[in-house]
Amino acid sequence: MFPYRGTYLRHVGETQAVAESNQVLLFNALQGYQVSHPVDGGDASLVLVLDEELLRELAPKALTWDKNAFTFRQQQLGIDPRAQALVALLRHSLRENVAERLEAESLSLTLAQRSLGSSTTHSAGANAGRQRLADRTKLILASDLSRRWALADIAAKVGVSPVYLTQVFQQVEGVPLYRYQLRLRLAHSLDLLGQYEDLSQLSLELGFSSHSHFSASFLKTYGRTPTEFRQVALRR
C-alpha cells in the first residue's frame, strides 16, 4: 500500500507505522490490524495486490520469514523519490484511463521491485524509543505541510534538543529531517499536479518560497520539471 494523500497510523499488535507518502506499507494475508487518524484530512493510497509467487521472486530474503506462507518481517519500508514518481505515474495513468493493461502491469511490477529492493528502500534500524520519536516528528510535519518549520519548534514539540532530534531522525529514517519534509511536499505535489493549471499557486500552497524554487526542487528530485511530469503522467 502506497499512501499518496494524508497520513494515518497502522497498528499491528503493539507496533505501529506512520503511513504517508515517504513509505510503503506491507500487509500479510490474514494478519489483523487497526488504523487511526491523528492528523485530520483523511487519506488515500495506491494498493498493489501481488501473487505470492511474484512476491517471493521480488522480495529479498531479509524482508521475509522462512515459512511455508509468505510473510513480511516488518510492516513498512521507506521508499525513494523514484518510487514516489512511479506511484503518481501509475495512479494518474489509471485514473485518466490512458494506460493500456501491459503498461499498467509493467509499471506495477517495476514499482514493487523498486519498493522492496535493498538498494532503493530504507528499513528503520533503531530502538523503540527512537522510532517513536521519529514517528511523532513525522506526524508533526504531516499536520501542516506548507508550514516553514523551525527546527527548534519541532524539537520543542517532541521534547528533545534540536541536535538530538536531527541525529535520531537521520538514524531512523536514513535522510536528514529537512530532506524528509521536502520529499513529503514534493510527493503531495505529484498528487495535485492534475488539479492546478497555475503551478505557481501550487508551489506557494505547498510552502515553497517561489515557483522557481519548487520547479528546481522537483527537477532535482524526479528528473523532470512539474510541467514535463504532468505531460507524461496525464498525457496532456
* Per-residue pLDDT reduced to its tens digit, 100-145: 889 889 999 999 999 998 766 666 667 889 999 999 999 999 999 9
Cell, residue 13: 499488535
The predicted-structure confidence for 55-112, as pLDDT tens digits, reads as follows: 989 998 888 987 778 899 888 999 999 999 999 999 988 888 877 889 889 999 999 9
Residue 9 three-state SS: strand
The predicted-structure confidence for 171-225, as pLDDT tens digits, reads as follows: 999 999 999 999 999 999 999 988 888 899 999 999 999 999 999 999 999 999 9
- Give the separation between CA 220 and CA 133, rounded to whole angstroms: 29
- Give the separation between CA 94 and CA 96, rounded to whole angstroms: 5
Cα-based distances in Å from 126 to 115, 178, 232: 20, 20, 39
Q: What is the pTM of this model?
A: 0.88
Q: At what angle do helices 151-158 and 162-173 cross, to 10 degrees?
A: 80
Cα-based distances in Å from 209 to 113, 138, 193, 202, 212: 35, 22, 18, 11, 8
Which of 123, 117, 115 lies closest to 48 in space, CA to CA? 115
Domain boundaries along the sequence of the chain: 2-122
Provide the residue type at 90 as one letter: L
Q: What is the pLDDT of residue 117?
A: 85
Q: What single DSSP character describes residue 72?
A: B
166 has a pLDDT exceeding 80: yes
More confident of the two residues 2 and 104: 2
Contacting residues for 209 by C-beta, under 8 A, at least 6 apart: none
